[in-house]
Amino acid sequence: MKFFVRTYGCQMNVADSNEMSRHLKARGLVETQDPDEASVILVNTCTVRQHAEDRAFSEIGRLRRWKAKRAGRKVVVTGCAAERTKEYLQDRFPFLDLIAGAKSIENFGHMADQLLDRRETDEELDYAVPSIDDKVAAFVTIMRGCNYSCTYCIVPYVRGREIYHSTEQILGEVRDRVSEGAREITLLGQTVNSYRHNQYRFGDLLRAVAASEGVDRVRFISPHPYYMTDRVIEVMATVPQVCESLHLPVQSGSNTMLKAMARNYTREQYLARVENMRQAIWGMTLSTDIIVGFPGETEDDFRQTLSLIEQVQFDWGFIFKYSTREGTPAAHLECHPEALIEERHQRCLELVDRIALAKRSKLVGTIHEVLVEQDNFGRTRTNYKVRINGGEAQARQGAGLNGEAQARQGAASSNIAPGEIVRVRITNAQRATLEGELENGNITFENFR
Ligand code: 5AD
Ligand code: SF4
């Protein structure tokens, strides 16, 4: 029996989809990339902005015909929109077989049993079959939920309050992922750096994961500026496995807006953290999230956001138009006209893209360690995606010299083996995905880092 998964939204949802897939695989199902082949389709939804929810719902609507085409087909809807709109989904799409909201992820195994009509008891042992998740860069969820209540945000309502996985559980999952081929671990949580468990704080966990056998790289997403403490910065600066790249959502550059959003930091505090990090972590890339058009945002507030972007010089960023989420504290505030939000969105995008291009352009000619993920695509430590040109030919040549690489690569493939860390000289930085060539020279340092 085959299943197909469609995921909307953030990395947390991607990780949740992986976790649910593992539950299904452990019950003997096989994942397919072709919905026509599948007997089960799982749609993992997002509700952070209305647009994300609308897209998922129109896909779910189309699945009525898919389901009718073959007897026994099942449609499962999970995630944040499922949590928010359970009754509505049931009414609008009565053909759904299972609706499992984001809060019930940790219980998905039991739900899968019911869906597939399995008894839990004596079959439990079979479920211990290790599932194969051969991703070079793997995600490990360390906490769920969020204790903040940023006034625009639906997440605390659909994912609940923070719960932390135990350090033992996390290190166990890291070992599992490494044994399946992972070389890079990204720790995940809504405010990932607020993690604590017994005496462990986030910085301690970061160290422990970095010290795990087989882990070449560690990242984490998404940190909250408030918890970006000197201790965490020190770990980033001194533990070699922890990559020098950070996604640190700022949302706005105006103190009035930050206060209205209940973000728990000021512009000045954010800038001070950035300054500390830039001093301590050489060559770090920094990216961010910004919301434009929050209710009450004046032209002056907006310009402060632009000026913060100029000041920080983010390496890249995601700009979102404010979207009212029912039930959040900001929902009753009067919205700006769509045209104004659109105009600010454009201006902000232009600035962020201009800076991003200027920063990338400087990388041409520099040499980076790239962890190859698949098909000659990989990532630098600074988290740029890179396409390695000419990798096919060079991989063949190199394979003759390096038996281990050849073995890992497998005879049929002419690409560089996933999991290899290679040195790449950047040749083109026009697009967000850089291009580069293998650098075989005898260079013992990176001229960028
Ligand atoms: N409207 C627009 N953007 C939002 N985000 C969260 N909630 C909203 C909303 N209601 C953005 C924030 C967050 C990112 C994941 O989504 O920038 O960091
Ligand atoms: Fe939402 Fe704020 Fe929590 Fe992030 S920190 S998930 S923006 S409430």
Where residue 92 sits, what CATH number does that domain have?
A: 3.40.50.12160
Residues 270, 277: Cα–Cα separation, whole Å: 11
Tokens representing 410 are: 């497998």
Q: Are strands 74-79 and 40-45 parallel, antiparallel or unpaired?
A: parallel
Pocket flag, ligand 1, residue 320 (CB < 6 Å): yes
Q: Is residue 127 part of a domain?
A: no
Answer whether residue 43 is part of any domain. yes
Angle at 241 between CA 9 and CA 218, to 5 degrees: 15
Distance in Å, CA 268 to ligand 1 centroid: 21
Ligand 1: centre distance to CA 42 (Å): 24
Q: Is the CB of 242 under 6 A from ligand 2?
A: no
267 Cβ closer than 6 Å to some ligand 1 atom: no
How far is ligand 2, taken at its centre, from the CA of residue 146, in Å? 6
Q: What percent of the chain has pLDDT over 70?
A: 89
Q: Is the CB of 156 under 6 A from ligand 2?
A: yes
Last residue within a domain, chosen from 209, 243, 277: 243
Q: What angle do CA 192, 195, 199 make, to 5 degrees?
A: 160
DSSP 8-state secondary structure symbol assigned to residue 126: G
Domain that holds residue 65: 2-115
Rounded Cα distance between 190 and 101, Å, is 16
**How do residues 110-139 score in pLDDT, each as one tens digit?**
999 999 886 544 344 334 334 445 689 999
Give the pLDDT band (50/70/90) at residue 446. Answer: very low
Say which CATH number the domain at 352 has. Answer: 3.30.750.200
Tell which of 362, 381, 407 closes a domain.
362
- Structural domains in the chain (count): 4
Which one of the ligands is nearest to 190 CA? 2
Distance (Å, whole) CA 98 – CA 104: 12
Higher pLDDT, 339 or 401: 339
Is the shortest distance between the CB of 289 and ligand 1 below 6 Å? yes
Which numbered atom of ligand 2 lies nearest the CA of 191?
5
Q: Are residues 167 and 78 in the same domain?
A: no
Cis ω on the peptide bond leading into residue 413 (within 30° of 0)?
no
Residues 377 and 274 in one domain: no
**pLDDT tens digits, 377-403:** 999 999 999 999 986 655 555 544 454
**CA–CA dist 188, 213 (Å, integer):** 20
Question: Is residue 76 classed as helix, strand or coil in its secondary structure?
Answer: strand
